[in-house]
Amino acid sequence: MPRLTAHGYIAIVELIICTIALVTSTVSCLRYGFKRQAGWIYLNIALTPLHLSLLEFITTSARLALGNNLPNILTKPLHFCRLALLSAIVLGIVGGVELSQNNPPQTASTLRRVSIVLIIVVFAILTLFALYFLGFAQLRRITVALPFLLVRIMYSLLNAFASSTANNFNSLTGSWIIYLAMDVIMEFVVVTVLSAT
């Protein structure tokens, strides 16, 4: 029987923590309602769902601060963020399928890069929103998660723009220490902050 690598042990810990996060998110959804755009339904471990969750928390906080009828200057960027994140998910999935079918790696690489660029643009917009609504108590807590989310984005960016799959930022074959520090721990901190909020 083959021995587990460091990546394998990290995956076991991730599975345990993801299960706990799933349970707490489900409890929050049941308690506060699936229909409300509070972000609970998106709160699982992955970069784009974390952004979707953050987007919905910010949207909810903006509505609580300004009332349900947000001005167009606020709603249009939020709608753009939602569409950009959905596009990033689709591009990421298509890129993964292309890679698994041994299609030209340039296509998969390009799709992954466009996906991460969309995520970076959304992160910048959400950061501006969070800073704009900083006076609102719930968003002060959410802004704590932003630096950790930024580190997680940088990990994906370095992976997507690396010249080969044998790079230190590859989540499967790269350095397990970098993966643990810049990916796994950062995601767990963001999920913890959003769950606590």
Nearest C-alpha neighbor of 37 from the set 81, 71, 90: 81
- pTM of the entire structure? 0.78
pLDDT at 41: 40
Write out the DSSP string of 33-97: -SSS-SSGGG-SSSHHHHHHHHHHHHHHHHHHHH-S---HHHHHHHHHHHHHHHHHHHHHHHHHH
- CA atoms within 13 A of residue 159's CA, in its CB half-sphere: 22
Residue type, 193: V
Calpha distance 102→63 (Å, rounded): 46
Helix axes 185-196 and 146-160, enclosed angle (nearest 10): 150
Residue type, 51: H
Two tokens, residue 131: 């800073």
Calpha distance 52→33 (Å, rounded): 17
Nearest C-alpha neighbor of 139 from the set 71, 81, 83, 56: 56
pLDDT at 38: 47
The 10 Å Cβ neighbour count of residue 61 is: 23
Nearest C-alpha neighbor of 43 from the set 147, 183, 192: 192
62 contact partners, CB below 8 Å, separation of at least 6: 70, 74, 78, 129, 133
113 burial class (0-12, 13-18, 19+ CB within 10 angstroms)? middle
pLDDT at 84: 93
Two tokens, residue 181: 């520090």
pLDDT at 47: 75
Give me the tens of pLDDT residue by residue for the chain, a chain 197 residues long.
567 788 788 888 888 887 887 777 677 666 655 554 444 444 474 677 788 888 888 887 777 777 777 778 888 898 999 999 889 888 888 887 777 677 677 887 888 889 899 999 999 998 988 888 777 666 777 888 899 999 999 998 888 887 665 578 877 778 889 988 998 899 889 888 887 77
